[in-house]
Amino acid sequence: MSALETPMGLALVVCDTIIEDKLTGKKTLVGLFDRVQASRLPCVHPTMTIFVSLTGGRGEYPCEVICRHTGSEAVAFSAKGQVVLRDPRQVVDLVFRLKGVRFPESDMYWLHFLVDGVPIMMRPLVIQKASPAKRDEDEEKA
């Protein structure tokens, strides 16, 4: 892929789920988050969805979301896909639905989005161990 063909990233969002209207194609992102409160570690997040929006390229490209621990660079998860851009003015949305994502420790992780091996976007995702007071509050609300 030449530098002129590299798509540009418009959005990289983590959420609980995405609802897509079958008639209009409009997407509703539900439960956006940038951190996970874990009652214990390692933790397994049951489901999460990654939303990616791209423009500015032409062609078919392999793409990948990779989540790495900040300190060790260990990969917590990755998901591969394909993106097809027919026109550089086109905006393409990608949805990665993940289940059972395991985070071994609390800390900052980075989500990286790559197109044809080229980093396009990144964003942090923080995994925190919930304090006992926070867990008690959550149990009272339930």
pLDDT of residue 133: 65
CB 70 within 8 A of CB 109: yes
Which residues does residue 115 pair with via DSSP β-bridges, in sequence order?
63, 118
The chain-wide mean pLDDT, for the chain, equals: 90
Selection from 12, 4, 18, 56 nearest residue 34 by Cα? 12
- The three-state secondary structure class of 136 is helix
Q: Which fold has domain 3-141?
A: Immunoglobulin-like (2.60.40)
The model's pTM is 0.86
Interval 6-60: pLDDT, tens: 899 999 999 999 999 999 999 999 999 999 999 999 999 999 999 999 999 999 9
Q: What is the pLDDT of residues 57-92, one digit of tens each?
A: 999 999 999 999 998 999 999 999 999 999 999 999
Q: Would you state the pLDDT for residue 130?
A: 86
